[in-house]
Amino acid sequence: MAGEICLKRRGRQGKELRVYPQVSRVTVYPDCVQVVFVLPNGLDPKEVRKRDWLFEQTFGENIELFGSSKTFTLNIYSQEVRRFDYDPEVVVRAVEGLRLPIYVGRSRTGDEVYDMTEHPHLLVAGETGSGKSVALRSILTTLIRTAADRLELYCADLKRSEFHLFKGVAREVVVETPQLHKIVLRIRKEMRRRGDLLDREGLANIDDLPEQERPPYIVLAIDEVALLKKERDLMDGIEEISAIGRALGVFLILSMQRPDSDVLDGKLKNNLTVRMAFRHSDEINSRITLGSGEAADIQQSQKGRMVLKLDGLTTVQGPYLDLPKAKALLEPYKRAEEPAAAQNEPEISEDDETIEIGVL
């Protein structure tokens, strides 16, 4: 009442009538009370958003408010999501049974995990220092440790700051756009081969192939896609992967500070169905990533905190995995020999006949 989230109408005799939102459901969970309320027709949902401070004043800071035009859900939690360290054993247990597991972190209800083969391409966004690179480190480390036998991983680190960690573990780690170009060409070519194979077999997805004929999943992870802004051809290739990769077992993980429309055009962005939105500087930027403003509410001190958009929106704390620990975890997966430097590899063109596809 104090916040005046209501529709004001003039009644008979000029008396003011106030129509408040109606609570349609209250559910008490062990660590959360969920209140669903419905706005009266005619009340602008922005009035609710504008007054989220009111909910914080009343219920504390540990709340989440989601909603659309009419129905809103307010989650009031009893516990804060705290920062925590990556625990390899917990992660392995949490992702058991998933084909291409992504361990996201902890939400108020427990571990958040999903299978990339079901929710294909991932966009990681957030302002500088918000936790994107640490998230990629933890996600890729988990993938390698839990799916090495069916994964072929390519990493592009255009800032040259992160992915050296995966050298000798990933199939290739590149730091320059021409090298990335070659990888994208190779992947496109492999997609055509897989597409032909599926056509011949009359199947819709490589997962339908008998196990011994099933090619490995290909994951292409790129930190700082914004640096590819001017690379139109490359971005077209990446868009093609995003459009048809899923059935062919080819998946993208892209990170950027802000999913600028200059870099990610609408089509590509729409194909990146899973979003991890770390702290965004303002609501407008948060809307670009998530379609709603929540990621601007994350505090600067909340490193590794994100709003995960998967089926709905969930606040998640990503695990902290430092470099030495990640190195130690990946050591058993290192190939004995470093692959030849990329410059020495044969040129690959669109119509090359041979392609090498191995595991990791």
216 binds, among Mg ion, ligand ATP, none (CB under 5 to 8 A by kind): none
Residue placing its CB nearer to Mg ion in the complex, 132 or 305: 132
Residue placing its CB nearer to ligand ATP in the complex, 63 or 134: 134
Q: Which of 11-19, 50-58, 132-140, 259-267 is the region at the interface with Mg ion (rule: CB under 5 A)?
A: 132-140
Strand partners, 184: none
CB 345 to Mg ion: min, Å: 27
User: The tokens of 74 are what?
Assistant: 């307010």
Alpha-carbon span 131 to 136, nearest angstrom? 9
Residue placing its CB nearer to ligand ATP in the complex, 194 or 303: 303
CB 19 to Mg ion: min, Å: 48
User: The tokens of 42 are what?
Assistant: 């005619």
Residue of minimal Cβ distance to ligand ATP: 304
CB 330 to ligand ATP: min, Å: 17
Q: In what order do the strands lie in the sheet with 32-38?
A: 22-29, 32-38, 71-77, 63-67
Alpha-carbon span 165 to 141, nearest angstrom? 10
Q: Which of 133, 138, 286, 292 binds Mg ion (CB under 5 A)?
A: 133
CB 140 to Mg ion: min, Å: 13
Q: Which string of DSSP letters, residue by residue, matches 215-260?
A: PPEEEEEEE-GGGGTT-HHHHHHHHHHHHHHHHHTEEEEEEESS--
Phi and psi dihedrals of 333, rounded to 5?
A: -100, 0
Alpha-carbon span 157 to 17, nearest angstrom? 60
Alpha-carbon span 169 to 153, nearest angstrom? 8
259 binds, among ligand ATP, Mg ion, none (CB under 5 to 8 A by kind): none
Residue placing its CB nearer to ligand ATP in the complex, 83 or 167: 83
5-21: b or e for each residue (b if 16 or more CB lie within 10 Å)? bbbeeeeeeeeeeeeeb
60 binds, among Mg ion, ligand ATP, none (CB under 5 to 8 A by kind): none
Query: Which residues of this protein are in contact with ligand ATP, per CB under 6 A?
Result: 83, 126, 128-134, 257, 303-304, 318-320
Helix axes 177-201, 232-248, angle to 10 degrees: 30
CB 318 to ligand ATP: min, Å: 4
117 binds, among ligand ATP, Mg ion, none (CB under 5 to 8 A by kind): none
Q: Which of 128-136, 188-196, 277-285, 300-308 is the region at the interface with Mg ion (rule: CB under 5 A)?
A: 128-136
Which one, of 291, 279, 146, 141, lies nearest residue 221 by Cα?
Answer: 141
Residue placing its CB nearer to ligand ATP in the complex, 132 or 275: 132
Residue placing its CB nearer to ligand ATP in the complex, 21 or 319: 319
Task: Note the residues at the interface with Mg ion (CB under 5 A).
Answer: 132-133
